[in-house]
Amino acid sequence: MDFFPHQLRIGPVTISPATVLAPMAGVTDTVFRRFIRDLGGCGLMMTEFTSSHGVSAARRATGNKPNRTVERYLAFHPSEHPISAQIFGSDPEVMADAARVCQDLGFDILDINFGCPVNKVVKCNGGSGLLRDLPLVEQILRKVRAAITIPLTCKFRAGWNDRELVMVEMARLSQECGLQAVALHPRTREQGYSGKADWNHIAAIKSAVRIPVIGNGDIITPEDAVRMINETGCDAIMVGRTASSNPWIFRQIAQYLETGRYDQPTHLERYEIMKTYYGLLMDRREYDAIGKMKQFATYFTHGVRGGALLRAAIYQAQEAARIVELVDEFFTPEAAPSPAFTPRYPAPVDRPPQLA
């Protein structure tokens, strides 16, 4: 087995193993993070990226009392430690205020998002929009660094486009401003999530700075995780979209490092994870529980025989309890997908044609 770091140190915080769950909007809430933690193999949890303006405004409105923004985006369970909160924004004062809120909430690390490519974030000069304004990035980093005592990190893309690559400048600036680690998704903002992540960009910033570098992008299998470490020299790996459809990926990486092989999830495990996740959503009475149940049905039944029928049935269901019933109906007592599954809500037959 090639080299893979056993742990990562971010300031005083030890991340072991050296694997990180990437922040994903609409995905990495406390329920999802908890069962990633329970499955094993993930060293650091990260929240969904959260608006600094929302956090700051909520603090001004309610003081230290619980509020909807904090409960929705920044709630976490003690079992999730170590955990990092990720915020975004472009106003240094507001970012600093939001950072203090996150520290007061008990997060181990604070991360700043300079990578989100979504238009509504970029239009406000947030996320990857800031990659075109490094002087403002410096103001934000210095203001936030001075506001908190917990470790500060940031995650960014390679640049706005292939002609404006700034990953090395971003990494060096982060180090100069006192950050304890950086994470790179080596695509540009213009790429979005298309094309291939250029791991050479990760190697470039690793050779340019002394602080730890976390690599992110196109890690689909445990072999990819090991290959990224060996090709780039990065200090840890971060997994995002793969974890949403294969939450066992971190456990598989750990198994691969120990034995040179790894198990694929059984149908029983897929069934149990859907039931567990849905149960947690219902227990927390999440306001968007039904939407998330539908969203994750797509993820969790990926590659399951007959899964399209189940997904179509769940999509048309209107109650959380009915969605759970559909999952139970789909799987036999042995948790193998039932070939005779006939949902109460059949798949629609009059869908408009899909654009290529």
Q: What average pLDDT score do residues 150-164 get?
A: 95
**Nearby residues of 339 by Cβ (< 8 Å), 6 or more positions away:** 305, 306
Q: ω before 17 within 30° of 0 (cis)?
A: yes
pLDDT above 70 covers what percent of the chain? 88
pLDDT digits (tens, 9 = 90+) for 284-338: 776 678 888 888 888 888 777 888 888 889 888 888 889 888 888 888 655 555 5
Indicate if 177 belongs to the active site. no
Distance between CA 293 and CA 319 in Å, rounded? 10
Looking up tokens 């969904």, which residue turns up? 48
Distance between CA 134 and CA 216 in Å, rounded? 22
Catalytic residue among 42, 116, 177, 234: 116
Distance between CA 83 and CA 118 in Å, rounded? 24
pLDDT digits (tens, 9 = 90+) for 164-216: 999 999 999 999 999 999 999 999 998 888 889 999 999 999 999 999 999 99
Amino acid at position 101, single letter: V
**Packing angle, helices 167-176 and 134-147, rounded to 10:** 30
pLDDT of residue 140: 97
Distance between CA 200 and CA 206 in Å, rounded? 10
Q: What are the backbone dihedrals phi and psi of residue 219, each rounded to the nearest 5 degrees, phi first?
A: -95, 105
- Where do runs of H (alpha helix) occur along the chain? 30-39, 52-62, 68-73, 92-105, 119-122, 134-147, 167-176, 199-206, 222-232, 241-245, 249-259, 267-284, 289-300, 307-316, 320-330
Distance between CA 320 and CA 282 in Å, rounded? 7
Expressed in angstroms, the distance from the first to the final Cα of the chain is 41
Confidence category of residue 13, pLDDT binned at 50, 70, 90: very high
Using the predicted structure, report yes or no on whether residue 275 has a pLDDT greater than 90.
Answer: no
Helix (H, G, I), strand (E, B) or coil at 350: coil
pTM over 0.85: yes
Q: Which residues on adjacent β-strands are paired with residue 215?
A: 184, 237
CB-based contact 86:113 (threshold 8 Å)? yes
CB-based contact 19:237 (threshold 8 Å)? yes
Residue 331 DSSP one-character state: B
CB-based contact 50:11 (threshold 8 Å)? no
Using the predicted structure, report yes or no on whether residue 70 has a pLDDT greater than 60.
Answer: yes
Distance between CA 252 and CA 81 in Å, rounded? 21
Distance between CA 110 and CA 153 in Å, rounded? 6
